[in-house]
Amino acid sequence: MAYTDAKLLIGGEWRRGDGPGEDIINPATGETLARCGHASPAELDMALAAAEQGFRVWSAKTPVQRQQVMEKAARALEAKIDEAAVNLTKEMGKPVGEAKIELGFAVDLIRWYGEEGKRAYGRLVPSRNPAARQMVTSEPVGPVAAFTAWNFPSTNVIRKIAGAIGAGCSIVIKPSEETPATAVAIAEAFQEAGLPEGVLNVVFGVPDEVSRHLLASPVCKKVSFTGSIPVGKHLQKLAADTLKRCTMELGGHAPVIVFDDADVEKALDAVVGFKFRNAGQVCISPTRFYVQEKSYSRFVEGFTERAEKVKVGNGLDDGVFMGPLIAERRIAVMEQFVNDAKDHGAVVKTGGARMANAGSFWAPTVLADVPDEAMIMREEPFGPLAPITTFKGVDDVLQRANSLPFGLASYVFTSSGKTGKTMSEQLEAGMVGVNNVAVSTVETPFGGVNESGYGSEGGIEGLEAYQRTKFVTEIAL
Positions marked catalytic: 249, 283
Which one among 43, 91, 102, 249 touches ligand NAD, defined by CB under 6 A? 249
Show the binding pattern over residues 218-237: x = contacts ligand NAD (CB under 6 A), - = does not.
Answer: --------xxx--x--xx--
Say whether residue 149 binds ligand NAD (CB under 6 A): yes
Binding segment toward ligand NAD, per CB under 6 A, in 9-17, 86-94, 247-255, 463-471: 247-255
Question: How far apart (Å, rounded) are the C-alpha atoms in residues 258 and 252?
Answer: 19
Do 211 and 235 contact (CB within 8 A), yes or no? Answer: yes
At closest approach, how far in Å is the CB of 177 from ligand NAD? 6
Question: How far apart (Å, rounded) are the C-alpha atoms in residues 13 and 15?
Answer: 6
Say whether residue 440 binds ligand NAD (CB under 6 A): no
Which one among 95, 180, 251, 359 touches ligand NAD, defined by CB under 6 A? 251
Collapsing DSSP to helix, strand or coil, 155 comes out as helix
Say whether residue 150 binds ligand NAD (CB under 6 A): yes
Do 143 and 49 contact (CB within 8 A), yes or no? Answer: no
User: Which residues within the stretch 369-398 sit at the binding site for ligand NAD (CB under 6 A)?
Assistant: 380, 382
Say whether residue 147 binds ligand NAD (CB under 6 A): yes
Which one among 59, 151, 287, 389 touches ligand NAD, defined by CB under 6 A? 151
DSSP letter for each residue of 85-108: HHHHHHHH---HHHHHHHHHHHHH
At closest approach, how far in Å is the CB of 412 from ligand NAD? 20
Question: How far apart (Å, rounded) are the C-alpha atoms in residues 143 and 284?
Answer: 29
Amino acid of residue 469: T
Query: Shortest CA distance to 28 belongs to which of 335, 385, 326?
Result: 326
Show the binding pattern over residues 162-201: x = contacts ligand NAD (CB under 6 A), - = does not.
Answer: --------------x-------------------------
Pinpoint the alpha helices (H) of 117-218.
Answer: 155-167, 180-192, 207-216
Select 224 or 304, whichever has its Cβ closest to ligand NAD. Answer: 224
In angstroms, the Cα distances linking 373 to 247, 255, 349, 377, 386 are: 31, 15, 19, 7, 15
In 293-413, beta strands by DSSP E: 347-350, 365-368, 385-391, 406-407, 409-413
At closest approach, how far in Å is the CB of 231 from ligand NAD? 4
At closest approach, how far in Å is the CB of 465 from ligand NAD? 13
Length of the chain: 477
At closest approach, how far in Å is the CB of 128 from ligand NAD? 43
Say whether residue 451 binds ligand NAD (CB under 6 A): no
Q: Which residues are at the interface with ligand NAD (CB under 6 A)?
A: 147-151, 156, 176, 207-208, 211, 226-228, 231, 234-235, 249-252, 283, 380, 382, 408, 448
